[in-house]
Chain A
Amino acid sequence: MSLEEFENRNVSEGAYYKVDIADYPETGWDKAKQVFSRAIKGELFVGLGVVMREMLKFDIHTVKYPLEKLPIGPRYRAVHEMQRLWESGTERCIGCGLCEKICISDCIRMDTKIDENSRKQVTEYTINLGRCIFCGYCAEVCPELAIVHGGRYENTSEQRAHYTNYEDMLTPFDMALKGQVPEYPGFGAVTPHEDERVKSTPLAY
């Protein structure tokens, strides 16, 4: 696309054309002629042929949904997941509170304390999924890649409280011990080839 085309804000220019529609038949004889020409041109039989061809090809596109699911894009933003560290399996979240601060619908609540190793520990962490708009800011801002967006898009519950459960979002500890926490490719993770894209900060301004 050339620059002029790109900068042309008048999008309708050249994009529309008039469809060639014949005038409506006026007299009865003209109507009869139209009916016969349409019937003899075989448009009806073209239609029959098309559906028959599709039936014989048997190229079925049905997905039997609860039994089968379509793959979902890795950057899809569904219910959050809280990640653990690879080797030790400790929770990645350091309780910095950035996600709570940035959340535009104010649905993250957390509470922290200093634990016996003088590290900050998260004691309460809830996301009210009833309010969350899945904007992805929390995953974007997290410095530890702790909170990310997973692919779980089916949420049903009788209890509103179930939508906020931190334990549900947290990767199960036994999985982490078995080394089954894969590097997370989805929303919130570092984009691929990030190393090559990092530029050294100039010292002089």
Chain B
Amino acid sequence: MEVAYIIETLIKIVVILLVFSALAGLGTYFERKILAFMQRRLGPMHVGPYGLLQVAADGIKLFTKEDIVPTNAVGPIFKIAPVITAATAFMAAAAIPFLPQFTLPFTDYVVHPIVADVNIGILYVLGVMAVGFYGPLLGSLASSNKFALISAARAASVFISYEVITGLSLLAPLMMVGSFSLIDFNNYQAGGIGDWIIWSQPVAFLLFWIAAFAETGRTPFHLVANDHEIIDGFGTEYSGMRWGLFFIGEYANMFFISFVIVLLFLGGFGDGSVLGAFAFLGKMAFFFFFFLWTRAAWPDIRPDQLMWLCWKVLMPIALINVVITGFVMMF
């Protein structure tokens, strides 16, 4: 039993790592294609059919490029920072159920597609994702570049702003469900579309969604690495695979936060049927697509505007939401 459990967990870890590394690569392909279509371009077309192998070409390029550590950079920190981003992104995936549980065909072995159903699941996911912000922060402070330094300051300001919203907006649904486990969240909403938390907590859903844009650093809160203002921010001095790790971390994060939004507010995989599993992936795909959609349509805002928005507008709304939820639950 114990051995089987360890083997199963190891297999799950490897599968998640492989699938989401590949998906992160494909995510860049989807992003380029969708942005191109929205801007009436074709996007990558030359490598492979419809440019599908562009990801492989990029991978080869990133792997084989020279790894440069600038003269004045703080070597060890500079080198470890991208690893923090990528590793924390994948560590966060440990508490996310990616599919409903299913029985292996021809056996009666039940597989739970979640690495560890810890009872503080959502706290763990958000906490580890927040640790991921150390990647850009340390990387930019260590790389001795003025644009990276601005990026570090922005990373800190974005970080203290959106974390408040994520936490406070989640409080209200947490009070209703009474558990931190994402599986419990899913089971709470298993009764069908009418049971989805988005209907009882629309404000919390919107706030969490807005904060997710800051969390993943996507337009309109793409401040930390805003190309047209501060080159690539924390990534300015990075090259080759280290820069690639930042990228993988960012895109994996986008997938994971999309899973989390669906699990928290949109019913997750429902009752666990095959249909529910597909609906789960479909809903996740919509949120991933929305990240790309906004990038084509919306401008970026300034860091002070983001802080103003988070602290002075969204935080009071979140607090009022918590209070109202409390009163409704009490009476």
Contacts and interface: CB of A to CB of B under 8 A. Distances in A.
B158 to A, nearest CB: 18
Interface in B280-331: 293-294, 296-298, 308-309, 312-313
Contacts of B309: 35
Specify which of B40, B42, B298, B308 lies most central, judged by the most chain A CB atoms within 10 Å of its CB: B40
Contacts of B40: 54, 59-62
Q: How large is the interface on B (under 10, 10 to 19, 20 to 34, 35 or more residues)?
A: 10 to 19
A48 B297 contact: yes
A52 B34 CA distance: 10
Interface in A40-81: 44, 47-48, 50-52, 54-55, 58-62, 64
B7 interface: no
Contacts, number: 43
Given A32-B313, A64-B45, A47 B38 contact: no
A113 B298 CA distance: 71
B111 to A, nearest CB: 38
Contacts of A31: 308
A130 interface: no
Interface of B: 34, 37-42, 45, 293-294, 296-298, 308-309, 312-313
Contact of B312 (A28, A59, A60, A62): A28
Given A28-B312, A35-B313, A60 B297 contact: no
8 contacts: A35-B309, A44-B297, A44-B298, A48-B293, A51-B293, A51-B296, A55-B37, A62-B42
Contacts of B294: 48
Contact of B41 (A28, A35, A52, A62): A62
Nearest to B40: A61
Instruction: Label chain B's interface by main secondary structure.
Output: helix
Contacts of B313: 32, 35
Q: How large is the interface on A (under 10, 10 to 19, 20 to 34, 35 or more residues)?
A: 10 to 19
A44 B220 CA distance: 11
Contacts of B293: 48, 51-52
B175 to A, nearest CB: 27
Specify which of A28, A61, A62 lies most central, judged by the most chain B CB atoms within 10 Å of its CB: A62
Contacts of B296: 51
Contacts of A48: 293-294, 297-298
Contacts of A47: 297-298
A51 B38 contact: yes
Contact of B38 (A28, A32, A55, A62): A55
Contacts of A59: 40
Contacts of A62: 40-42, 45
Nearest to B290: A48
B41 A61 contact: yes
B37 A58 contact: yes
Contacts of B312: 28, 32
Given A51-B38, A60-B41, A64-B42, 16 more contacts: A32-B312, A32-B313, A35-B309, A44-B297, A47-B298, A48-B293, A48-B297, A48-B298, A50-B297, A54-B37, A54-B39, A55-B34, A58-B37, A60-B40, A61-B41, A62-B41
